[in-house]
Amino acid sequence: MMTRLTRIPLLLTLFAALIGCTPTIIGLESKTERPWRNTYFYSHALSAIPVFNNDVETFTSYWGTRYGVPKKSYRFGENSGRLIRPDSDNTTDAIKDLAKRAKGKKDLIIVMLASEGAQDALMIQPVRSSATRYSARRLKRFLSPLNKHPQLIVIQACHSGTLIDNLAHKNRIIIVSDAVGGKQGPCLPTGSLSPFTEYFVDSMQGAGQLKEVYERARVNLTQHSSSIPYPLRIHASPDVYVGENMTEFWTGEKPKKSWAFWK
């Protein structure tokens, strides 16, 4: 038999279904779900400097622990036995393969790049070779097979904020470690991990949706950086771009429907 108290949640639910929203009812908990179905991973340390290999391995490992193991993962690096030695063919093939594997609007492709940077470019430095520029336009073309899929692009590099204008796309979230163009102090990380990667993966352990992870990492990293004297201060000014189709992936909240009863 239904009592007055049991009728209230039912009536609210029926009314909410009619107008297309989800009610919040005191005493009823809703489970927070990931806004994606499957993930596919491409990570690449473009420089032979060991810290960037560590960034790639650590980021990939923490993501798998926090959000689940990707359905397919490619990890490239210059001087680690656990990473694939990159060349122009196998990296391009990996991107194309992930584009084929991802299905629909609920599969998320993550691209994590770690290297030294320059204005509108990343630096590629193989073992025992000098560094060369990899321009934002080349990177845009390289990633273009992914354009129809939801993407999270994470870039650990000095000047990485200058890449956003070229890489911006409605199906992308772009998180960069250095928004200000590398004018605050040393560029090359001195520890076993870059500060950005260290704080970002630490934030994965406690926060929920991507927006929460980013905000917590940004605040903690900025506080850490401001406590270090200027001559030794590493760049710590993350920034983010969220494409128009990526709001649900960023916040975990479905876009609100607008209702016009006179239509």
Domains of the chain: 38-251 (3.40.50.1460)
CA–CA separation, 34 and 217 (whole Å): 19
Backbone region of residue 102 per phi and psi (left: phi > 0; alpha: psi in -120 to 50; beta: other values): beta
What pLDDT, on the 0 to 100 scale, is given for residue 165? 95
Q: How confident is the model at residue 178 (pLDDT cuts 50, 70, 90)?
A: confident
Weakest-pLDDT range from 63-67, 219-223, 224-228: 224-228
Predicted TM-score (pTM) of this structure: 0.81
pLDDT beyond 80 at 187:
no
pLDDT mean over 55-73: 93
What pLDDT, on the 0 to 100 scale, is given for residue 235? 57
Q: Which of 38, 42, 10, 6 is CA-nearest to residue 23?
A: 10
What pLDDT, on the 0 to 100 scale, is given for residue 158? 87
pLDDT beyond 70 at 3:
no
What pLDDT, on the 0 to 100 scale, is given for residue 23? 37
